[in-house]
Chain A
Amino acid sequence: MARLIVALIAGSLFGSGLFLSGMTDTNKVQGWLDVFGNWDPTLAFVMGGAILPMAVAWQFTRMPRKPVTGGSFPAPLDTKLERNLVLGSVLFGIGWGLAGLCPGPAIASLSYAGPGGLVFLAAMLTGMWLAPMLRARLDRVAQPE
């Protein structure tokens, strides 16, 4: 139960932050990416504002403590840079620029994005469903037997 309460609080803060910051407005996201157009720096303020409390939280995990609801903190940093990290990020970036939406805002804006928001979400969920199969295929290409 405690884990669910934490998840609800975290999701509520995330959702209200996405709403208030304007990150569910595709014009603001595409405006940030559009350096050759009317560039909008708002996204940098959002990123900076979000990184500050998170950096403090990461320091907390280095102390000899456990998460409040038990369990353990995430594994130490993975420093491996592989092809999928770059390839996936490039694919994500193309879609992000095209629609101006990433996964968080796609959920946060669902109540006011109209049919377009639902279409984007359905396509995104389909992509997420297909991804494990594509990743398995990519891995086979990487290591031919």
Chain B
Amino acid sequence: MEMDWIMGLIGGMLIGLGGAAYLIGNGRIMGASGIIGGLVDGSGHSTAAERIVFLAGVLGLPILLTPLFGGVDTHITDNMLVLVVAGLFVGVGTRIANGCTSGHGVCGISRLSLRGMVATVFYILAGGLSVVLFRHILGVI
């Protein structure tokens, strides 16, 4: 358990260093939903190349690290209906809120952004209630 916390801290620092590199290097906020969403809805057309390269890094490094550390089991549910509903909610929600765990959470809270903190409170509360409802009451996850 404690080893997981240490890995969490180390991994978290790498995430923060990525955000710092993106901010100091390119002057941009490292928000995963914004970077992906800008490609999907065309709003990030002018910066499409750097978005794609960024995502190639996000996808590629786990591929390179898997042989060194062994695969991480995602424990993802095999209930496809749950995954479709969850994916739609995550996609719509992050774009309407203009940010997700990385943009509002990591990048927002670290600059003491009120919007980032409010968003984080609401998605954690909603996430907690979602787990209570779908796991403990309905038993679907």
Cross-chain contact of A112 among B57, B71, B83, B105 (Cβ < 8 A): B71
B-side binding surface: helix, strand, loop or mixed? helix
Q: Nearest-CB distance from B54 to chain A (Å)?
A: 4
> Are B15 and A98 neighbours in the complex by a CB distance under 8 Å?
no
> Are A57 and B58 neighbours in the complex by a CB distance under 8 Å?
no
> Are B87 and A127 neighbours in the complex by a CB distance under 8 Å?
yes
Q: Nearest-CB distance from A122 to chain B (Å)?
A: 7
Q: Nearest-CB distance from A62 to chain B (Å)?
A: 10
Contact A37-B135, Cβ < 8 Å, known A68-B24, A92-B93, A104-B58: yes
A-B pairs with beta carbons under 8 A, tally:
493
> Are B26 and A50 neighbours in the complex by a CB distance under 8 Å?
no
Name the interface residues of B119-138: CB closer than 8 Å to any CB of A. 119-120, 122-132, 134-136
Name the interface residues of B91-141: CB closer than 8 Å to any CB of A. 91-98, 100-102, 104-107, 109-115, 118-120, 122-132, 134-136, 141
> Are B115 and A81 neighbours in the complex by a CB distance under 8 Å?
yes
A-side binding surface: helix, strand, loop or mixed? helix
Distance of A5 Cα from B118 Cα, bound (Å): 33
> Are B18 and A130 neighbours in the complex by a CB distance under 8 Å?
no
Distance of A37 Cα from B49 Cα, bound (Å): 43
Residues in B neighbouring A57, C-beta threshold 8 A: 19-20, 23-24, 110
Closest Cβ neighbor of B91 among chain A residues: A127
Distance of A71 Cα from B106 Cα, bound (Å): 23
Which residues of chain A have a CB within 8 Å of any CB of chain B?
A: 2-4, 6-28, 30, 33-37, 40-58, 60-61, 66-69, 71-74, 77-81, 84-104, 106-114, 116-117, 119-132, 134-135, 138
Task: List 25 interface pairs A-B (beta carbons < 8 Å), by A numbering.
Answer: A15-B59, A15-B62, A22-B11, A33-B131, A42-B8, A46-B9, A49-B8, A66-B27, A81-B118, A89-B118, A92-B94, A93-B130, A95-B91, A96-B101, A96-B127, A97-B134, A99-B86, A103-B32, A110-B59, A119-B87, A123-B86, A126-B91, A127-B89, A130-B91, A132-B95
Closest 6 CB pairs of A and B: A127-B91, A21-B11, A49-B12, A11-B57, A123-B87, A93-B126
